[in-house]
Amino acid sequence: MTITETNLNLMAHLMRRAGFGADRDELEHRVANGYEATVDELLHPEQQIPVDYYEFLRYFPNWWKPGTMGGRGHAGWVWRMINTRAPLQEKLCLFYHQIFATGVSKVDHYDEIEDMIDMFRENGLGHYKTILMEVAKNPAMIYWLDNHENHATSINENWGRELLELFTMGIGNYTETDVQECSRAFTGWTLTHKLPRFHMGRWDWEFEYRPDDHDNGEKTFLGQTGNFNGEEIIDIILAQPATATFIARHLFSFFVEDEPQVPSWSVTPPNNPEAVDAIANVLFESDYHIGTTLKFILNADFFKESLFAKVKNPTEVVIGTLRLVGNTERPSPETMDWAIDITNMGQDLLNPPSVEGWHTGIEWINSGTLMKRTNFTAELMGDLTRPGVKNIMGRLKSVEASPDAIVTACLNLMGPLDVEDDIKKELIEHAETFGPFDWDNDSDNENAAAVASEIIQLIVALREYQFA
């Protein structure tokens, strides 16, 4: 396919949403392959060489079953996101982690939450029922929502309530009685005891179903009556159109356009009800097959028209920048710093603030996190030794020497980004302090690269750059 401004913009949009962005070489390669072919490739992570996680463990053995790790327990996942050739697979892990938010602050075992992320990686493009069943049996989730305290003789409603409120239907589509009956159906879904961790390291929790602690009585749930166990409850939930709409809104908010925060969804209609309905319809018809639904979304007009309608989350900022600048692939002490950078921008992965996950969209931004974003990105983009930055400089050398042309090219290579005229004017004025860009000899080359680097650092500080 011919590389035009339109299809380059669209491919950049797709890779920001279904991945962590892409450099210009990759974008041009993907445009040549075609948009639909790229979507298909993203939807088939099994065709890519997987990340060899042992490469990370070889240098950071303590991350095999990480403890509290000074808040760095997610560093292995960060390294995986930097190196993956299947970026949509990792984006889906983020998507599910936002919905099934489970935190080390209570669980106290990063490895158990990592196991949940691994499960998302394995099953993320499959049926949502598989995800729900696996989450219901996941030790981290069981402990996080107290289902090990949910007994036949004394129910604990925490898991049952969140299953309905946050993971499937949303407030307003069920009653308090449904919550109790749902919880009764999940009695006996518990954990084995772990060996203690202190004398020779950590051990796994295992899911255990205890029939003797399960409430075998009749339950009436969402209008149906029977001796339901957990799986039957999930089947009844998935048969509700409200569930499809709720999951559709999550998908829309994560992949298409920022929605209001989840707790307000029961009283605030979607930004684009037609699109959410269309997604819900595909979900319902496909038996909640996420791969099928994502293929629909990524090829839909409402998706293609949603350029820069989302604020980048901190993980997207950090991983996107690292993948762009390059020389970040090896496990190193910097990997730990980058993990903390994501936290400092407001997204402490594997440790969300509550079961509701993070507040997203514009709430990612405040005066502190904006500074963190800008400083992080500007520092890396200003490192002229990074291969990705060198590539950008190489491309700038082929454009006209005028400051105007250089600024236009920088905006193009960093997005492509559209900015208002007065902002572009300011950037050009800064470039003009240097005069025409001359790349002819080493000294000129160095000076031109330094100024171009300054322009790029100014661009990443722009409001426009915070959007995906």
Binding interface with another protein (CB under 8 A): 52, 54-55, 57-62, 64-65, 67, 69-70, 192-196, 198-201, 203, 330, 332-333
H or E element, residue 330? none
The helix/strand/coil state of 67 is coil
Give the separation between CA 3 and CA 31, rounded to whole angstroms: 6
Q: How far is the CB of 143 from another protein (least distance, A)?
A: 15
Q: Which is nearer to another protein, 195 or 450 (CB)?
A: 195
Which tokens belong to 193?
């005891």
Closest CA to 181 of 230, 146, 246, 128: 230
Instruction: Indicate left, alpha or beta for 459 from its phi (over 0: left) and psi (-120 to 50: alpha).
Output: alpha
CA distances from 108 to 68, 105, 162, 201 (A): 6, 6, 20, 14
Q: How far is the CB of 351 from another protein (least distance, A)?
A: 17
First to last CA, the chain: 24
Contact (CB, 8 A) for 352 and 101: yes
Contact (CB, 8 A) for 410 and 459: yes
Q: Which is nearer to another protein, 64 or 467 (CB)?
A: 64
Contact (CB, 8 A) for 451 and 401: no
The helix/strand/coil state of 208 is strand
Q: How far is the CB of 62 from another protein (least distance, A)?
A: 5
Give the separation between CA 340 and CA 367, rounded to whole angstroms: 18
Q: How far is the CB of 289 from another protein (least distance, A)?
A: 32
Q: Which is nearer to another protein, 176 or 193 (CB)?
A: 193
Q: Which is nearer to another protein, 73 or 357 (CB)?
A: 73
Q: How far is the CB of 60 from another protein (least distance, A)?
A: 8
Q: Which is nearer to another protein, 196 or 211 (CB)?
A: 196
Q: How far is the CB of 333 from another protein (least distance, A)?
A: 7
Q: What are the backbone dihedrals phi and psi of residue 445, each rounded to the nearest 5 degrees, phi first?
A: -60, -45
Closest CA to 342 of 56, 67, 124, 73: 73
Give the separation between CA 92 and CA 18, rounded to whole angstroms: 9
Q: Which is nearer to another protein, 154 or 199 (CB)?
A: 199
Q: How far is the CB of 64 from another protein (least distance, A)?
A: 5
Cα Rg of the chain (Å, integer) = 24
Q: Which is nearer to another protein, 176 or 199 (CB)?
A: 199
Give the pairing of strands 189-191 and 207-209. antiparallel
Q: What are the backbone dihedrals phi and psi of residue 467, each rounded to the nearest 5 degrees, phi first?
A: -100, 150
Q: How far is the CB of 229 from another protein (least distance, A)?
A: 24
Q: How far is the CB of 122 from another protein (least distance, A)?
A: 18
Q: Which is nearer to another protein, 29 or 210 (CB)?
A: 210
- The residue whose two tokens read 């209609």 is 269
Which tokens belong to 129?
């029922």
Q: How far is the CB of 83 from another protein (least distance, A)?
A: 14
Q: Which is nearer to another protein, 223 or 333 (CB)?
A: 333
Q: Which is nearer to another protein, 200 or 267 (CB)?
A: 200
- The residue whose two tokens read 């394995």 is 122
